[in-house]
Amino acid sequence: MDAPLVLTITVDPLEVDDESHNIEVVSRFPVEFYKLAEMKADPKEARKYVEVVKDRLGDEVLKYKNLVYVHDTEDISMGPKATAYSKLKTMLEKVQVQLNLAEKIKAVDAVDVAERLLKHHFIPDLAGNLRAYFTQSFRCKRCGTKYRRPPLSGRCLKCRGEISLTVFEGTVDKYLSTAYDIVKRYQLDKYLEQHVKMLDHEITDTFSQTKQKLGLEDFLQFSDHSSH
């Protein structure tokens, strides 16, 4: 997702992600900034005292020049070469380390961090992965041909190869145990707990049914019972 797809010799700040427009371009913070920080004021109140990139976008010269900074460094590439996120193997390990760090920082509400992880990451991912499972395409293992629906013969129409899923059970429920762990660890709101349980039931029902091997005779018997 971070691979460069387009290279250009001229960078226009207006075409860059607007998050970078909030970078400070001052050599020092005024005393008013520190007073507001001491009062735990809203960061927006400090904007009138601190110039950022956004303030210069209308000037064709200053948006490229004199972008100063407060803290100097000997080498801009200094720092860890690999983050802890890439070193930790499982998502559960990554979440545990993140929450452990949140608990150590007084300025951070660990319960709020846990709730945000569920609301904005795990629950949407679980629901999205389940939806992707039901709307997935199918692929031939031999030639790679994709099908919106598998042929009735169960074989590829081009090479007679075996047809395979493109979304598997492990992809759908990979965050489920981590979501449960977060709910139990922080005794989160019942709404979030029930939301996770509902997704768990949907996933369990989905894959318990797919593991039952039914033939045409089973289907006909079911139809006869339904008609009666």
Q: Are residues 171 and 70 in the same domain?
A: no
Give the closest residue to 25 by CA, choosing from 1, 2, 56, 46. Answer: 56
Q: Pairing relation of β-strands 146-147 and 163-165? A: unpaired
Instruction: Please give the pLDDT value at position 39.
Output: 92
Q: Are residues 102 and 141 in the same domain?
A: yes
Provide the residue type at 177 as one letter: S
Stated pTM of the model: 0.61
CA distance 166 to 145: 12
Instruction: Please give the pLDDT value at position 145.
Output: 93
Instruction: Please give the pLDDT value at position 120.
Output: 93
For 109, list phi and psi in degrees, rounded to 5.
Answer: -95, 105
Q: Are residues 61 and 137 in the same domain?
A: no
**b/e 130-147 (16+ beta carbons within 10 angstroms → b):** beebeeeebbbeeeeeee
Give the closest residue to 54 by CA, choosing from 13, 83, 92, 87. Answer: 13
DSSP codes of every residue in 10-60: S--GGGS-GGGGG-B--SS--HHHHHHHHTT--GGGGTTTS-BGGGGTT-T
Angle between helices 91-104 and 176-186 (to 10 degrees): 20
In a domain, 133, yes or no: yes
Instruction: Please give the pLDDT value at position 41.
Output: 93
- Hey, is 196 helix, strand or coil? helix
Q: Are residues 41 and 98 in the same domain?
A: no
In a domain, 226, yes or no: no
Q: Are residues 107 and 201 in the same domain?
A: yes
Q: Are residues 101 and 173 in the same domain?
A: yes
Q: Are residues 90 and 59 in the same domain?
A: no
Q: Are residues 91 and 166 in the same domain?
A: yes
Instruction: Please give the pLDDT value at position 121.
Output: 92
In a domain, 222, yes or no: no
In a domain, 152, yes or no: yes
Q: Are residues 15 and 91 in the same domain?
A: no
Q: Are residues 166 and 94 in the same domain?
A: yes
Instruction: Please report, in tens digits, the pLDDT of each residue of the chain (228 residues total).
Output: 567 777 778 888 888 888 889 999 999 999 999 999 999 899 889 999 999 999 999 999 999 899 999 988 888 788 888 888 888 888 888 989 999 999 999 889 999 999 999 999 999 999 999 999 999 999 999 999 999 998 888 899 999 999 999 999 888 988 899 999 999 999 998 999 999 999 999 999 888 865 555 555 554 554 455 455
Beta strands per DSSP E along 98-172: 138-140, 146-147, 163-165
Instruction: Please give the pLDDT value at position 37.
Output: 92
Q: Are residues 101 and 30 in the same domain?
A: no
Q: Are residues 100 and 159 in the same domain?
A: yes
Instruction: Please give the pLDDT value at position 74.
Output: 85
The answer to whether 199 and 157 are in contact (CB under 8 A) is no
Instruction: Please give the pLDDT value at position 72.
Output: 86
Provide the residue type at 154 as one letter: G
Instruction: Please give the pLDDT value at position 91.
Output: 82
Query: Residue 14's domain spans which residues?
Result: 9-77
Instruction: Please give the pLDDT value at position 200.
Output: 93
Instruction: Please give the pLDDT value at position 213.
Output: 56
Taking the alpha carbons at both ends of the chain, their separation in whole angstroms is: 55
Instruction: Please give the pLDDT value at position 209.
Output: 63
In a domain, 224, yes or no: no
Domain count of the fold of the chain: 2
In a domain, 191, yes or no: yes
